[in-house]
Amino acid sequence: MGDWIAFWNSKHSIYVNARHRDVHYRTIAEHIRAHLPPDATVLDYGCGEALSAGIVAEGARRLILCDAAPNVRAGLAERFAGRPNIEVRSPEEVEGLPPGSLDVVVMHSVAQYLTPGDLDERLALFRRLLRTDGLLILGDIIPPDVSAATDALALLRFAGANGFFFAAIFGLVRTVALTDYMRLRSNLGLTRYREAEIVVRLEAAGFAVQRASDNIGHNPARMTFLARPKA
């Protein structure tokens, strides 16, 4: 995962413009908040820039933002310095949290950058950190038959609905031709799972699981799963 962390830690241009970046994070935050119980302690693991984390924090007692990229964490700490119920932690710090201390764990659009073994380690960690009535939200899982073209089409539809369609066309061309993202995606690949494969992994980690009716974020071809610790 080191190459991917280095990419997200850099000044990349994965978002086609500021409008795309803002709407992307707001959509994710609104979808996450819809799943939250009241007054919850929430961990957003691999949160990225989380520009709209305030939306999630408004419905939570405590929101922990965790990202492996140091520059991303520094930006988060600066952005949310005035929000007393938002804190920023490294993955190593999250591993040190007390067992059963979290009501909700969100890991959205991260699993594709992990090996299956790495994913299993995260699931075991989340099972330990969640309370017995807690909730794991595992979002943006990519099925094997979802291609880069499918992702591009989903982006264009999202862009058309949110006022940055032509910028998205230019941005897709730029991403393919000029950025490291497609090189990394081609060289390293993205880890993909069938629905049954994710269910087996979650159950092996001690969760009862169901697939959500809608994926978190803008891409309906990907999957979100809701998992609760087994008794």
Q: Count of alpha carbons within 13 Å of 160, Cβ hemisphere only?
A: 6
Q: Does pLDDT of 193 surpass 70?
A: yes
> What whole-number distance in Å separates Cα of residue 202 and Cα of residue 228?
9
pTM, two decimals, is 0.92
pLDDT single digits (tens) 15-37: 888 999 999 999 999 999 999 99
For residue 10, the model assigns a pLDDT of 75
Q: Can you say whether the dihedral through the CA atoms of 146, 149, 155, 161 is positive or negative?
A: negative
DSSP 154: H
Q: How many CB atoms lie within 10 A of CB 41?
A: 19
Which pLDDT value is given to residue 176? 58
- What are the pLDDT digits (tens) for 58-68? 989 999 999 99
Per CATH, is 2-229 categorized as 3.40.50.150?
A: yes
Alpha-helical segments (H) within the chain: 2-9, 18-35, 53-58, 70-79, 91-95, 116-129, 148-162, 165-178, 180-188, 195-204
Q: Domain segments of the chain: what residues? A: 2-229
Higher pLDDT, residue 111 or 147: 111
Supply the DSSP symbol for 193. -
Q: Mean pLDDT of all residues in the chain?
A: 91
Q: What is the pLDDT of residue 129?
A: 98
The neighbouring-strand residues paired with 87 are 64
Question: Does residue 157 have a pLDDT over 60?
Answer: yes
